[in-house]
Amino acid sequence: MSYPRVASLKNGESFCRHLSDSSIELPFDEEVQTGAESPLGRSLEVHGRTIGNRFCILPMEGWDGTSDGKPTDLTRRRWRNFGLSGAKLIWGGEAVAVRRDGRANPNQLMINEGNCGEIASLREELVSTHEEHFDDSSDLMIGLQLTHSGRYARPNDKKRPEPRVVQRNVVLDRRVGVEDDSAILTDDELSRLIDDFIAAAVLAERAGFTFVDVKHCHGYLGHELLAGVDRPGRFGGSFENRTRFLRDIVAGIKAATNEMNIGVRLSVFDFVPYCPGEDRIGIAEPGSEPRKTFGGNSTGDGMDLAEPSRLIELMQEIGIRMVCTTAGSPYYNPHIQRPAFFPPSDGYQPPEDPLVGVSRQVAAVEQLKKQHPEMIFIGSGYTYLQDYLPNVGQAVVARGMADSIGLGRMVLSYPELPADVIGGRDWQRKKVCRTFSDCTTAPREGIVSGCYPLDPFYKKREERDLLKAAKARLQK
């Protein structure tokens, strides 16, 4: 498999030539416009409020909370960076567990009575940092991402999975050590979990957030429920049953809060789990079950957006106005979720030019936006575009293929990107994320996440040596 690094494509012309030679479809605007009336600078109206521009900061956890789920200085620094980015939509900040057994790691943030004040102060720090750098924060919208990690829960020990699943899955069960049905959450347990999500939303409202994201992506509990075709009972089988969890949470939040808005981060398509094949290049793992992928087709590595589209229609019916799109899972098919040239060291080499992964997410969102023009769609997976992110992002928004451009990894290495682009300031090439994946490899090794290669703050930290040693061991 050979394809050029994006950094080796010296200008927009060679980037576009590469796209066309490789038959990769992505829109591209040669000239990036600046200012409040530019495609990326223009505001957006939702829930009777204004979002000041078309950049969105995607949720990214740092594995750096305290053991009881409060933020640390590292968490606060990340949220301040979100504030100084200039992006006017902050989608969730990071995944925050609604209760202890739903934590993806023992340092994940958790929202409860005891932590509410500290989580509120995270939001306040973001807002005050934003106000130090920009005139106005009235057009800044901040949500909190609520989660239960389900199959990927590791609440007590970063090395010990304690999965709670929706249904059995041959390949994924093997990976997280599910050996019998005792890991399956009962219907009663799911009902209690719905109450926990509602209670968390009440606290998020008290903490000042404008919306909560009821997370349905990346193989975590909400997402796995959508694919729960083999699950019997009230939460499995039919589309109606598989969406009951979301519907009940939304109804409960509406009843229990004053005016809390609700969004959903959704993996709009999924593939079967991948594993390293010959030369460590990723292949669909033999024995996988394509029918258990939400938004996947029968091949296991293709999209079928019929059910995701139906779900978005349902979301509109229950008052949801914003969907933050993503795909697959960082655990079992990261190449479709966060396209990278250098994959996380415990994974597989990309089975395709990572630009194909970017283009797939862009195309899926375009299709859904066409079908549901009133829904606000935030796109993800743009970081791999590197120096051409603004050109493609502007083209996507200007053509109405998505409403807002989500930034994940890029904001860890280059937080000021939105302000630089909209303000017409110099492009800081040295800060551009080159998808080294250290921010993903580090937490897989129990080390706090951060941009170790490019962020001077993390470059200096002692964890950098630990990470280097872990990578050397994994690459043997």
Ligand X SMILES: Cc1cc2nc3c(=O)[nH]c(=O)nc-3n(C[C@H](O)[C@H](O)[C@H](O)COP(=O)(O)O)c2cc1C
In the complex, the residues that contact ligand X under the rule CB under 6 A are: 58-61, 94-95, 145, 217, 265, 326, 338, 380-384, 407-410, 439-440, 449
List the x/- string, 45-74, binding to ligand SF4 by CB under 6 A. ------------------------------
Interface pick for ligand SF4 out of 436, 444, 445, 470 (rule CB under 6 A): 436
Q: What token pair was written down for 310?
A: 């139906």
Local structure of 146: helix, strand or coil = strand
Residue with smaller CB distance to ligand X, 5 or 291: 5
From the list ligand X, ligand SF4, none, partner contacted by residue 83 (C-beta under 5 to 8 A by kind):
none
CB 413 within 8 A of CB 456: no
Task: Rule CB under 6 A: say whether 77 interacts with ligand SF4.
Answer: no
AA letter at 148: H
Strand partners, 142: 90
- Contact between 435 and ligand SF4 (CB under 6 A)? yes
- Adjacent-strand bridge partners of 376: 322
145 binds, among ligand SF4, ligand X, none (CB under 5 to 8 A by kind): ligand X
Which residue(s) pair with 184 in the sheet? 165
Phi-psi domain of 125 (left: phi exceeds 0; alpha: psi -120 through 50; beta: other)? alpha
**Closest residue by Cα to residue 326 from 263, 268, 406, 377:** 268
Nearest residue to 79 (alpha-carbon basis) of 62, 67, 66, 63? 62
C-alpha span between 217 and 210 (Å, rounded) = 21
Amino acid at 251: A
Tokens of 325: 């799109």
Smallest distance from ligand X to CB 368, Å: 16
Q: Alpha-carbon dihedral of residues 203, 205, 206, 209, nearest 10 degrees?
A: 110
Q: 94 touches which of ligand X, ligand SF4, none (CB within 5 to 8 A by kind)? A: ligand X
List of long-range contacts for 176-184, beta carbons under 8 Å, 24+ apart: 176/151, 176/152, 178/151, 184/231
Number of residues that bind ligand SF4 (CB under 6 A): 14
Helix extents (H) in 243-374: 244-256, 306-317, 334-337, 354-371
Which H or E run contains 98? none
Q: Is 453 one of the binding residues for ligand SF4 (CB under 6 A)? A: yes
| 210 contact choice in ligand SF4, ligand X, none (CB below 5 to 8 Å, kind-dependent) | none
Cβ proximity to ligand SF4: between 337 and 437 the closer is: 437
In the complex, least distance from residue 446 CB atom to ligand SF4, rounded to whole angstroms? 16
Q: Smallest distance from the beta carbon of 56 to ligand X, in angstroms?
A: 10
Q: Is residue 288 part of the contact set for ligand SF4 (CB under 6 A)?
A: no
Q: Which of residues 395-414 bind ligand SF4 (CB under 6 A)?
A: 409, 412-413
Q: How far is the CB of 217 from ligand X (least distance, A)?
A: 6
Interface pattern 176-195 for ligand SF4 (x via CB under 6 A):
--------------------
Please name the residues in contact with 101: beta carbons below 8 A apart, sequence gap of 6 or more.
148, 153, 155, 162, 164
Query: Would you count residue 358 as binding ligand SF4 (CB under 6 A)?
Result: no
Residue 436 contact partner, candidates ligand X, ligand SF4, none, CB within 5 to 8 A by sort of partner: ligand SF4
Q: Which residues bind ligand SF4 (CB under 6 A)?
A: 409, 412-413, 433-439, 451-454
